[in-house]
């Protein structure tokens, strides 16, 4: 049985964003722009305020996670740099940056380290959740798990990213494997796809097909 997605700590993330915003600089970003963890040689935190953004694995460009609501990125990289991931802006977005050094000072001054810990714990739990979606799972299960994620996305996002693109960006499944399962589910009336492969509706999926 797959793990449930971790609960996003909205209050903690909100407090961190509000504390950092007055000291942050809005960035000029365009869709597909990639953000690295340093600016002029100094570690940065990124305040994602609106739009869409993906977290990519550096080694192969695999999408690890996506953000559609306000989020704070760079905490783990500031504390324990690994440079294993980068950020990709997917649509016109509002993003601010602040130096990690300044952010740490603010966390000290405003006693925000508990919120930092809660946010980092959420990120950690999400990585376990994502691994559970794809590691040592049958092809059909992996596809179904991602369909469950897609149907929860805003309609605007679902109409922009096809099911095939979404799944292939996040897994190493072949195009034919994904399309075969989608065709079978569509033929059995478990889901409805708009021309181009965009998910419109989905019923409860069977354990196998």
CATH number at residue 49: 2.60.120.10
Quick one: pLDDT at residue 133? 79
Residues 31 and 125 in one domain: yes
Average pLDDT over residues 56-82: 93
pLDDT tens digit string along 169-207? 999 899 999 999 999 999 999 999 999 999 999 999 998
* pLDDT of 162 above 70: yes
Number of structural domains (the chain) is 2
Q: Is residue 179 part of a domain?
A: yes
- Residue 52's domain spans which residues? 10-133
* pLDDT of 1 above 60: no
* pLDDT of 2 above 70: no
Domain boundary among 94, 115, 133: 133
Residues 92 and 21 in one domain: yes
pLDDT tens digit string along 23-61? 999 999 999 999 999 999 999 999 999 999 999 999 999
Report the mean per-residue pLDDT for the chain. 93
Residues 30 and 65 in one domain: yes
Beta-bridge partner residues of 25: 97
What does the H/E/C string look like for the chain?
A: CCCCCCCCCHHHHHHHHHHHHHHCEECCCCCCCEECCEECCEEEEEEEEECCEEEEECCCCCEEEEECCCEEECHHHHHCCCCCEEEEECCCCEEEEEEHHHHHHHHHHCCCHHHHHHHHHHHHHHHHHHHHHHCCCCHHHHHHHHHHHHHCCCHHHHCCCCHHHHHHHHCCCCHHHHHHHHHHHHHCCCEEEECCCEEEEECCCCCCC
Quick one: pLDDT at residue 208? 84
97: closest CA among 52, 38, 57? 38
Quick one: pLDDT at residue 112? 98
- Other C-beta atoms closer than 10 Å to the C-beta of 1 total 4
Residues 54 and 106 in one domain: yes
Residues 115 and 14 in one domain: yes
- Other C-beta atoms closer than 10 Å to the C-beta of 156 total 10
Q: SS3 of 162, please?
A: coil
Q: How far apart are CA 168 and CA 23, in angstroms?
A: 38
Q: Is residue 3 part of a domain?
A: no
Residues 101 and 178 in one domain: no
Residues 24 and 87 in one domain: yes
pLDDT tens digit string along 100-149? 999 999 999 999 999 999 999 999 999 988 888 777 678 999 999 999 99
């Amino acid at each position: 049985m797959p793990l449930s997605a971790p609960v996003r700590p909205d209050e903690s993330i909100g407090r961190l964003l509000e504390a950092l915003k007055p000291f942050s600089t809005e960035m000029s970003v365009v869709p597909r722009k990639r953000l690295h963890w340093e600016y002029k040689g100094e570690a940065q935190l990124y305040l994602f305020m609106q739009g869409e953004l993906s977290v990519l694995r550096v080694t192969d460009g695999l999408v690890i996670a996506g953000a559609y609501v306000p989020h704070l990125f760079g905490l783990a990289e500031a504390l324990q740099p690994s440079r294993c991931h980068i950020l990709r802006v997917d649509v016109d977005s509002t993003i601010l940056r602040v130096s990690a050094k300044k952010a740490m000072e603010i966390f000290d001054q405003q006693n925000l380290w508990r919120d930092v810990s809660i946010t980092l714990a959420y990120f950690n739990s999400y990585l376990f959740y994502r691994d559970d979606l794809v590691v040592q799972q049958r092809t059909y299960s992996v596809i179904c798990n991602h369909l469950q994620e897609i149907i929860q996305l805003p309609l605007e996002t679902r109409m922009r990213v096809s099911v095939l693109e979404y799944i292939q960006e996040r897994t190493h499944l072949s195009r034919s494997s994904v399309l075969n399962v989608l065709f079978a589910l569509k033929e059995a009336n478990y889901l409805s796809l708009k021309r181009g492969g965009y998910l419109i509706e989905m019923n409860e999926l069977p354990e196998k097909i």
